[in-house]
Structure 1
Amino acid sequence: MPAKALEEDNLPIALRSWLLASLRFAVTLQNEDKLVLLAVAAELDKHGIAYPHLDRCFNFFQRTSVGICQAIIGEPDERRTCLLHQHLARIPDERLRLAFAAAVQVSLPIEKTAKPRKPKKNNLWKGLSSRPTGRITEQSYPMKLPHQEKMRGAG
């Protein structure tokens, strides 16, 4: 089974319903589909927080759905494009994301693919002049080091 198919199976059913409802409204532009989208959003918001006293405060899906509906119906401008791109970024299923982008006539950003790397050549030292290795020898270092004197005296 492809990895993309596994991703979509991991989406909760309610969230998938909301994404599909947004796609359906984007395709049909019917008021009934808008109402379905808002109803699904209200259900998600109702069950979104485990604290009963905060239920009325949590309205992410309703706010987002209203913004999406306005962006779908609205005239093309920078704010509309930004809202639709934000919604597209939230859609984890690639097929659903592509379908929604096509329905709202928004182009998806092109993903940069990695350039194929050229095989590394062993040219690390190419172009460097040849010179001594820098090893210290008795000829290059005329002073005798203390450990050298002991070794000569012992032998």
Structure 2
Amino acid sequence: MRENATEPESKLLRAWQLAVLRFAVTLDDDDRMHALGVAGEVDRVGGAADDAFHFFRRTTAELCAAISGQGTDQDAVIRRFLAQIDNVRLKRAVEAAIARDRTPPKLVASRVKPGPDLWRGLPSRRATGT
């Protein structure tokens, strides 16, 4: 993001990054179209009145192709996008969403069944005669 961007421009750029993230997670064509729509909005804010300025639409099309495993020089396209994200949490989310192996991280270690000596040394629960 540009450092001297105004607040509305910053929010629009963040919305574009989030739209790309959403596509990376779902790989859904509707989400790709949404990301391209947001890119068009960013282009209109930062560009000329005509359709000559289309950097974000072109970049979004390249990103979506790279994320989908299509296009040329996929890793370079993704690295350039990641380098432009200044929010650490968003960057990590994008990295996780576009991970090549697409295997979710293991959150819980495999459970170990208790051994027969689990209760050894503890007093018995049986009621003692009183």
The answer to whether TM tops 0.5 is: yes
**Total equivalences in the alignment:** 93
Give unpaired runs (5+ residues) of structure 1: 1-9, 107-155
Give unpaired runs (5+ residues) of structure 2: 1-6, 101-130
Identity of aligned residues (%): 40
User: Residue deviations 1:54-98, cap 9 Å, x none?
Assistant: x311111000000000000015x9811111000000111111001
- 2:97 is aligned with 1:99: no
2:62 is aligned to 67
- 2:80 is aligned with 1:80: no
Give the TM-score normalised by structure 1. Answer: 0.56
Give the TM-score normalised by structure 2. Answer: 0.66
Once residues 67 and 78 of structure 1 are traced to their aligned partners in structure 2, the CA distance between those partners, rounded to angstroms, is 9
Q: What secondary structure, in the 3-state scheme, does the structure 1 residue paired with 2:44 have? A: helix
- Runs of at least 4 residues off by over 2 Å: none
Once residues 40 and 58 of structure 1 are traced to their aligned partners in structure 2, the CA distance between those partners, rounded to angstroms, is 14
Give how far 1:16 is off.
Answer: 0.6
Give how far 1:47 is off.
Answer: 1.6
Rg (Cα) greater in structure: 1
| Contact 2:24–2:67 (Cα < 8 Å) also in 1 | yes
Where in structure 2 are the equivalents of 1:12-91 lying within 5 Å?
Answer: 12-49=10-47, 51-52=48-49, 55-74=50-69, 79-91=73-85
Q: What secondary structure, in the 3-state scheme, does the structure 2 residue paired with 1:91 have? A: coil
CA RMSD between the two structures: 2.0
Once residues 13 and 60 of structure 2 are traced to their aligned partners in structure 1, the CA distance between those partners, rounded to angstroms, is 12
For 2:63, the aligned partner's letter is I
C-alpha distance 56-78 of structure 1, shift in aligned 2 (>3 A) = closer
Once residues 17 and 80 of structure 1 are traced to their aligned partners in structure 2, the CA distance between those partners, rounded to angstroms, is 22
C-alpha distance 56-31 of structure 1, shift in aligned 2 (>3 A) = same
